[in-house]
Amino acid sequence: MYEYRITKYNPALRNSNGTFLKDEWTSYSDVGATFSGLVLSLDDYLLIESQYISAVVSLMEYSGIGGLSIKGLEVRNDDFDENTTDEMMRLLQVIKSGEKINIVDIPSICRLILREYIWAKLEEETMFVHFGYDYYMYIGLVQEPREAIEQIRNGGLFVEKYSSPYKS
The residue that leads in pLDDT, 168 or 44, is 44
Burial of 14 (0-12, 13-18, 19+ CB in 10 A): middle
pTM score, two decimals?
0.92
Q: Mean pLDDT across the chain, nearest whole number?
A: 93
pLDDT of residue 11: 93
What DSSP state is assigned to residue 28? G
- Across the chain, how many H-helices and E-strands are there? 4, 9
The residue that leads in pLDDT, 45 or 81, is 45
pLDDT of residue 77: 64
Which of 40-44, 51-55, 87-91, 154-158 shows the lowest mean pLDDT across its residues? 87-91
pLDDT of residue 82: 79
The residue that leads in pLDDT, 167 or 78, is 167
Question: How many angstroms separate the CA atoms of 40 and 42, rounded?
Answer: 7
79 pLDDT above the threshold of 90 = no
Question: How many angstroms separate the CA atoms of 78 and 18, rounded?
Answer: 33
Residue 71 · residue 98 · CB < 8 Å: yes
pLDDT of residue 19: 86
92 pLDDT above the threshold of 70 = yes
78 pLDDT above the threshold of 80 = no
